[in-house]
Structure 1
Amino acid sequence: MQARFVSGAGLGLRRGLLAALQEDGASGADFLEVAPENWIGVGGRLGRQLRALSERRPLLCHGLSLNLGGFAPLDLDLLRAIKAFLDAHGVLGYSEHLSACADHGQLYDLMPLPFSEESVVRIAERVRIVQDVLERPLIIENVSAYAQLPGELDEASFVRAVLERADCQLLLDVNNLYVNSINFNFDAQAYIAALPSERIAYLHVAGHFDQAADLKIDTHGAPVIDPVWALLAHAYARHGVRPTLLERDFNFPPLAELYAELAQIRRLQGAAAGARRYGT
């Protein structure tokens, strides 16, 4: 099942942007996305501001700490708290990272997984448990990485296998894909071609840091660069237009600059839709 829950260009809602977005009602964003772990149990002024924005713009959630790729039992208390948050705010979709982040303690980082058939089977079962508890589809995100673990599959084949076996959806992070294509020297367009169109729910774009010519660090602290915009356009051409969200976690510019990046997303969406309509 392909999610059709939002449209257009969205913005990640961070507390550093909250005041500005509250002031203008997030007028330049078609939807917003938050990490539920940062908001569960938050009341008072911040809670009221989040509620006001969620009543003006559709809201998605992007989780940080489910540890889908880990070995420790899933945190069912956290899952129930997330479900309550999603229900309370009318959240239209929930995504998480296809990575490990905790077994003997919360790492606050996203660790790579072995791209193996064994991992596919184990992670798919964990995804199914999450979907059963949340009573809604899970959307998994491809992650950036700086090391590769042994495994018989390439990344695209691994992601596709998890999607099919778990019967879940994909959040295609185009910047993560670009970063990994440089760090591990693979063809980003071939990766996109290998993905199942019907499972792509929405996309992310973001900026990154150039540590070296062959090492990119996914920071979400800079504007989106031209090669990532080009890869986003290619994803639309290959799979059709999908809702797309801009992530910015720090080094916040004036809101107008972020809205300008959202406008660029819409231009690419419009061009791709037009090309498909006229068969070009």
Structure 2
Amino acid sequence: MQNNFYGAGLGLRRDFLDDFISQVPDSINFMEVAPENWMTLGGRYHANFSRLAQQHKFVCHGLSLSIGSPDELDEKFVQQVKSFLDEYQILYYSEHLSFCSANGHMYDLMPIPFTNQAVDYVVARIQRVQDILQRPLVLENVSYYTPLSQEISEIEFTQSILKKSGALMLLDVNNVYVNSINHNYDAKNFIAAMPSEKIVYGHIAGHYNEADDLIVDTHGADVIEPVWQLLDYAYKTHGVFPTLLERDFNIPSVADLIKEMNRIHTIQAQHLEK
């Protein structure tokens, strides 16, 4: 199993495959894929991915597990994910602490109500997923835009799920920033409250300013300075963890993406030197 990775990562896109088969840039220490987009592919895509996976470190970040859904858990899908992870010796499979299905797929990530009942429900589903995967599930804090039923705070909700389920954490720094603006809370306070020992890796991304008090997490723009500063704070608080640059829309050249990734390397190096 690939139980050791570090540095800065980038999501692998099919458009990058041909170039990366020839040479993966040195700045990319690991890559991330959504298993849904790769585990059913055959032919050239399968062959090229297999070649890359033999030579480079990968993590998986899922799109459709829907861990908080009222629908029955899709155990057949989880088994397919396990087979993909096993085939390519990928240890970490992360998913969103949210849901995207309720009597059908909704094509959006919906937040789970911050209640004790929801904690218990989600924990049971996580534990079943982990039993099938034979790995800890890694959960990402998500951005959300609508008011929620809230009897406990988002911090308490996240802490409780991580503690009770045994799951690990993907700390998305941009999502923390987006929520801090949209819901008027202290981003540093949220980051500091997360359990250091649970954080496996992180995400950083750009977003879209819809209004002064409404930010949409698009992954379609450059990372802004306040988010870089939050990443620096996260490293200061929790130690340096592997961090992936997310870019899903308005995708620039690999060379331009590498420039942003090098900012991750720079901030990491500043903390590692201390």
Q: TM-score range by the shorter chain?
A: over 0.9
Partner of 2:205: 206
Question: Aligned to 1:229, what secondary structure does the other structure show?
Answer: helix
What is the identity, as a one-letter code, of the residue corresponding to 2:215? K
Contact map agreement 1:16 1:252 (CA 8 A) in 2: no
Structure 1 unaligned regions, length at least 5: 276-280
Report Cα offsets for 1:214-263 as digits up to 9, x if no partner.
11111111111111100000000001000111111121111111111111
* Alpha-carbon distance in structure 2 between the residues aligned to 1:54 and 1:248: 21
Asked whether 1:184 is paired with 2:183, we answer yes
TM value normalised by structure 2: 0.96
Partner of 1:59: 58
Report Cα offsets for 1:74-94 as digits up to 9, x if no partner.
101100100000001111211
* Alpha-carbon distance in structure 1 between the residues aligned to 2:161 and 2:13: 30
Partner of 1:148: 147
Asked whether 1:230 is paired with 2:252, we answer no
Q: How does 1:1-280 map to 2 (within 5 A)?
A: 5-275=4-274
TM value normalised by structure 1: 0.94
Measured after TM superposition, the shift of residue 73 of structure 1 is 1.1
| Cα distance change, pair 37–139 in 1 and its aligned pair in 2 (3 A) | same
Contact map agreement 1:10 1:32 (CA 8 A) in 2: yes
Measured after TM superposition, the shift of residue 15 of structure 1 is 2.2
The number of equivalent residue pairs is 273
Contact map agreement 2:206 2:219 (CA 8 A) in 1: yes
What is the identity, as a one-letter code, of the residue corresponding to 1:128? Q
Between the aligned residues of both structures, percent identity stands at 48
What is the identity, as a one-letter code, of the residue corresponding to 1:260? K
Q: Where does structure 1 differ by over 6 angstroms across 4 or more consecutive aligned residues?
A: none
Report Cα offsets for 1:114-162 as digits up to 9, x if no partner.
0111111110111000000001111000011111211111211111110
Contact map agreement 1:114 1:148 (CA 8 A) in 2: no
* Alpha-carbon distance in structure 1 between the residues aligned to 2:29 and 2:272: 17
Contact map agreement 1:236 1:272 (CA 8 A) in 2: yes
Root-mean-square deviation (CA, aligned residues, Å) is: 1.3
* Alpha-carbon distance in structure 1 between the residues aligned to 2:164 and 2:107: 27
Structure 2 unaligned regions, length at least 5: none
